Structure 1
Amino acid sequence: MSTNSSNYSKRSSTYSMEDRPWSDLPSELLQVILSRLPLPYHPSFSAVCKSWRDVTFRVYPADISPLLVYFKRWGDGILHCYSPSLNKSFRVSSPLDLSECELYSSKDGWLVLYREHEVILANPVASLMRNFPGLPFLNSFSGIAFSGRPPHKCTIFAIDSMFTSSVEISIWRPSRGWVSNIRYGNDYPFVAAPYSSPAVHNGRFYCLGVEGNLGVFNPKRATWKVLASPKSFAYKPEESYLVESKGKLLAVHVGNHNPPVRVVSLNEAEMVWERVITLSSATLFAGPGVSLVTTNRPKRMKNKVLVSRLIGKPETIEAEIRRFEGRAFFVPKQSSQQTPGEGRKQEATEKPGVCCYSLRALKSSGYRDSIWYPCSIWYEPRTVMMSKLRFKM
């Protein structure tokens, strides 16, 4: 072969390789590229062409709204996270051992759980967990909450309220550990609302009573007091949840009455409950264990109360939670499949989702036909700066 012929062949080969379409890249190479690509860019990667889309796992943001976290089966420790923004439920794989745990509340990205003789703080986004053992008895608490910076510089408060005349309180402090089962007398008859965890307000733990009265624990002075007022709600709701928002205490009433959801605010000057007509641009996530008030959510959620009850069977995806640059994402497992057609089949009739009440329209969706998981709470995912955590067990 002549020199001219050889040069032409090389030029032809080079041109052919440069002109080769992106869709011809081997799937193995695409998977390597994808594995090194930041999670927020996965959607753009999948939009290049069909072959790229075929190797891409869809990534779902986990932090655009609070999640309804629950155990579907008692004791299995497998977290299910329902996102009302995505209207999907994620069965989350986690290295954390949450077996035999009860969910009690959440705060600042940490779940508060109870297992025999210990309280647990767990952050499923950062895969971090700290145990607080040493409770002498197998307690059944009315509520558990914490204040301060988890998981070390915090105070844990647990209350057991079964009798009108007294309560039992256990408190954990970083310097002392547990001081357990201290009995305090009630100045006025008080029984804690069974589905409402304590709310931290002005450095104190406030507990809601079934009648609408309040009990307050001061952790600095280790004192407990049932307030003389407010004495009660204007009516007796089936369930009540206490929540602190922007320096105010709110109570959410849920039940088969009309309307099924009511919100009241504590007027601390007169110590009476007052009806809340609007949440403005905020959204209230209400339910057992913990209730949250958030802003900057999707427009369709504004001025609404979302109750921790599921309607129908939302689509379920097996996934893991990953972090990237301070954000959290659900990443489906490669071998996972979405629950076959559950969400789509019921869309036309039951409209799977979460029970929602509009304060503006005075309408609710599906409360009577909804499903309540006893061990379920609202949870705001947050990442944790690893460098700031120094575990001392």
Structure 2
Amino acid sequence: MESERTSTADTADTAGGPRVLRQDEWDRWYGTLVRAFGGVPESDEETELWRALTEFDRSLGLWDGEACVATAGAFSFRLTVPGGAAVPAAGVTMVGVAPTHRRRGLLTRMMRRQLDDVRAWGEPLAVLTASEPPIYGRFGYAAATQQLGATIDTSRVTLSVPDGTDGVRLRYADPVDVLDTCEAVYARLVPLRPGMLARGPGWERVPVLDPASERGGASPLQCVVAERDGKTVGYARFQVKPEWGPAGPAGTVVLRDVAALDPAADAALWRFLFDVDLTSTLVVRNRPVDDAWQYLVSDTRRCLPTLRDGLYVRLVEVGDALAARTYQAPVDVVLEVEDAFCPWNAGRWRLSGDPKGASCERTTDAADLTLSVRELGAAYLGGVSLAALARAGRVRELRQGALAEASVAFGGVTPWLPHGF
């Protein structure tokens, strides 16, 4: 397979197309990416980690002579989909074009080659996080998850915790020393929520990446582990930014991530975060939209909740992708799909499924719903309603009742991407 992907196009310059990255080219390739994102040098710790995680045979570059002028990569991920299956997905990453070579179609050529490769690898999904959301819609990607943020006034907001919270023991631990223990907790949660990523070797280092240059005056990363009967049932990783005002201490707790196996452990960790000495604010940047702390607080308004886009999904193989997940109610609909960038997806597909499984096959039957591959990507993980997309004019119902049937079936547990890539 590698020789097929590294044939004639892999020795061409910008006139010939993207080619697979060689290991001795990584520094120049990554330097192009850093420059595209502003040119601020990264710490040695960051650079070493991303080099170690780079999958060279899945990374592409465009070259103008000796200069790399465009980059793109694809991590080998397994993404949880509704029903709990871990589906192969290409994690599109490290996409950049040199400012000197803009408006020449380089990004389109990179996306064309990459999606062709993903299809050849047999991966039905491509996913990404977007630095600039308008870029990726024309290639069939759509926002499929949201992330909840908050700036909580912990001097005014209190928590009402469930029974059993006081039975959870908390202790400080070095984030690196307890990495394996925390990863075991995370791994148990991955199948329970669509959008989560099964972390392969090396990826456990991403949540504890802690370059001093990005702390913004806050402490090094700290970790508290939750235990019950000698077993780890959760953890929280965070930083503390000390501040003082005329009235005294006014520090901020900046939450990196928190995970727990049951409601009592979750509540114990959140109560700890609310009560850190010399602080009066808790900053939350990426949590599930339905995160439980919202239903424990005394005053939601003083939490200043915000939403922003999270994971973008692109169905590379419509039939395989729709058959890989389950549906929370029985569904039998014919979808007429538009997909100009990946025309092999265009046409009619009969989706039949229920909570136990699904099939999705080509059909010549009359369509019940018509939509583009972007709408399918938005709705795929269950976080965006097909009915809402229809109200926006993005989905059209051709058989009465089909929209309600499909909307209910596609729903389920709110999806969430726990970290970027």
Say yes or no: TM over 0.5. no
Structure (1/2) with the larger strand percentage:
1
Q: Which has the larger radius of gyration?
A: 1
The TM-score, its normalising length taken from structure 2, stands at 0.22
The TM-score, its normalising length taken from structure 1, stands at 0.23
Structure (1/2) with the larger helix percentage:
2
